[in-house]
Amino acid sequence: MGEVRESERRWAAAFENVPREHGFEPLRVQGTLPPALRGTLYRNGPGLITLLGQRYAHWFDGDGAVSAVRFADGAASGAVRVLETAGLAEERAREKPYFGAYGTKAPGLWNPVRSFRVARGTSKNPANTSVLAWAGRLLALCEIGRPFEVDPADLASLGETDLDGVVEGAFSAHPHFVAQTGYAFNIGTRIGHPRAIDLFALRPDGTAGRLGRVPLALDTMIHDFAATERHLVIFVAPLSLRLLPMMFGLRAFDQSLEWLAGRGTEVIVVPLDAPGSPRRFFVDPFWTWHVGNAFEVGDGTIALDVVRYRDFPSSNEWLSRIVSGSVDADTDGYLARAIVDPKRESVAFTPLRPRTGEFPRVAPRADGRRHGVLYWTEHSSREVGRYGPPDTVARVEPDTGELDAFTFADGHKPSEAVFAPRPGGDGERDGWLITQVYDPGAHATYWAVLDAAHVSDGPIATAHLDHHVPLSFHGAWWPAP
Ligand SMILES: [Fe+2]
């Protein structure tokens, strides 16, 4: 085993269960926290990697744990709790694993009750992917189920919600706010009956509504989408879910997704003023997990900044190996601008970075102008990408080509970088980037605060837990009132 490979595997110990759950408690701080940084960053990811003697097979499988760091008056406190979902409670009552997970097949063979629940979309919801801070509520999201309400004060589990009857089935982990209107939009991919995408609007007054439903030809998986002030744009990759092998306990969900390259990726452009009349067309196949930025170009086209992959199977395989601690495979996801032209029925990609990476984010803008700034995490070299998650957080400015990046040393692994604006500040660089970092030397997790305008200077302060949290996916900044 080579030197790089050995040192690059030190993050693997992050994939052990959260050792201790607690509400907000003081954190050890190194450096000086800016007094103007006031608010809470909530994050979600797998909290239990092993449940009732069974180790999960994929990063996406673990039972969700929300972690949080709160900054006030130059001090920091931190909290983490595993979400007490109905599925987790049921498995604990049975004293053994019962449901399958995304990448872990259900134990045993044919089980008619469990299979019926898979087909009805009422199987276990691990609520483990992201959090939505909306209208004073904190919702933990996973795309296969309904939102799961969490108490923002102490992270107590409050249970699933259908948002007053609006969410019948699934609700994706990637709602998008549109600054011009204050609305957020989301999608929910339904399998079986109906086979469709539900479209949701979240109004600024805290009420939710269903915009419509887009029928699908396939049972499939859609992780993210784009929203502008005029359109929703959804990429439906040629991914066909074979339900039967999963229901018979022969395969996990992800291994039941078949890549049909010949079909191409379908582009669905939904006009917000006529959601019942989407434009739909096919282009050459590609896969994306995440959309960072989306805006109307002004000439009838729509720009989306995405992480583009050649296909789903290779990306999913790379992600599945993360939890085993041994990747040894190249990832090919790169940051690209996609110009979607509904009239010409085309999508043209331009690379924005020569590195691989993930978790593109934009800073919210109150003025509604399009974002000129993206934040994401990337691999500082191909070698790093071959042996594990990204080690670098970066600010990327596509219009100017400007890059401002910081690479963590000593095998430290940052997560998605979330922007916290300076109160009363000006623009999308005026604030801080907060990233949750796993330190393999201490086998513990800390939050690093960077000046978003000077990322390459590195952290200005760090706030340390006395234990680790498994590498998490997505978070949301909740400013203090
Ligand atoms: Fe995601």
**C-alpha 475 – ligand 1 centre gap (Å):** 10
Q: Record the pTM.
A: 0.97
Which residues contact residue 188 at a Cβ distance below 8 angstroms, ignoring those fewer than 6 apart?
A: 143, 167, 169, 170, 171, 172, 197, 198, 200
**C-alpha 74 – ligand 1 centre gap (Å):** 31
**C-alpha 62 – ligand 1 centre gap (Å):** 14
Q: How far apart are CA 144 and CA 169, in angstroms?
A: 8
**C-alpha 141 – ligand 1 centre gap (Å):** 10
**C-alpha 48 – ligand 1 centre gap (Å):** 18
Q: Are 454 and 30 in contact (CB under 8 A)?
A: no
**C-alpha 3 – ligand 1 centre gap (Å):** 32
For residue range 415-457, list pLDDT tens digits in order. 999 999 999 887 789 999 999 999 999 999 999 999 999 999 9
For residue range 278-321, list pLDDT tens digits in order. 999 999 999 999 999 999 999 999 999 999 999 999 999 999 99
Instruction: Look at residue 187 in the predicted model and tell me its pLDDT.
Output: 98
Residue 24, H or E segment: strand 22-26
Q: Are 38 and 75 in contact (CB under 8 A)?
A: no
- Whether the predicted pLDDT of 341 surpasses 60: yes
**C-alpha 24 – ligand 1 centre gap (Å):** 26
**C-alpha 95 – ligand 1 centre gap (Å):** 30
**C-alpha 344 – ligand 1 centre gap (Å):** 29
For residue range 106-120, list pLDDT tens digits in order. 988 888 888 888 777
